[in-house]
Amino acid sequence: MNNNLKEQVLRMSGVNPLKCMRCGKCSATCPSYDEMEYHPHQIVYMVEKGEIEKLMASPSIYKCLSCFACVERCPRDVEPAKLVEAIRLAVIRQQGQNHLKAKDIPDLIEADPDLPQQALVTAFRKYTK
């Protein structure tokens, strides 16, 4: 358990995981549930336990669609997506850890010229520092 990292994630996200009552509603409504190794309600609990490094190494943090469903529908206003975002930023802010690289963009456009700018811009914002 790394207290520094936990502190950092809590500060960046502004989330208090202790508010969570583990009802699982966030995971039930998450459109990326099937794609995730750790699901939103588990992520909240893992942050509480300080298991940040485990989450930083998990592909789950790149599966969140930023759809805000868990933010809207959590009965305790925990806002799990903010934790996912903070953990992903803790990874990609490190040197050389960008998930999407500028050199990957031409291939994406070539694969589908109809891909709207919005998709690329958003992916870049989410995956790259």
Partner 1 sequence: MVYHYYPGCTLKTKAKDLDRYGRKSMEALGITLTELENWQCCGGAFTMAKDEIATKLSSVRALADSRDGVLVTLCSACHNVIKQTNYAMANDAEFAMKANNYSKFDVPYNGETKVMHYLEVLRDVVGFDNLAKAVKNPLKGKKIAAYYGCLLLRPSKALQMDNPENPKILEDFIRAIGAEPVLYPYRNECCGGYMATEDQSVAAKKSGQVMDSAAEMGADMIITACPLCLYNLTKNAPGHQIPVYYFTELLAEALGVKD
Give residues in contact with ligand SF4 (CB under 6 A): 20-26, 29-32, 40-41, 44, 64-70, 74-76, 78, 80-81, 84, 118, 121
63 φ, ψ (degrees, to nearest 5) = -100, -10
Residue 21 CA to chain centroid, in angstroms?
20
Tell me the per-residue interface mask from 21 to 40 with partner 1, x by CB under 8 A, - otherwise: ----------xx--x-----
Q: Which residue has the tokens 């469903």?
A: 69
What length does the chain have?
129
3-state secondary structure of 32: coil
Residue 92 makes contact with partner 1 by CB under 8 A: no
> Which is closer to partner 1, CB of 20 or CB of 81?
81
Shortest distance (Å) from residue 14 CB to ligand SF4: 14
Residue 85 makes contact with partner 1 by CB under 8 A: yes
3-state secondary structure of 38: coil
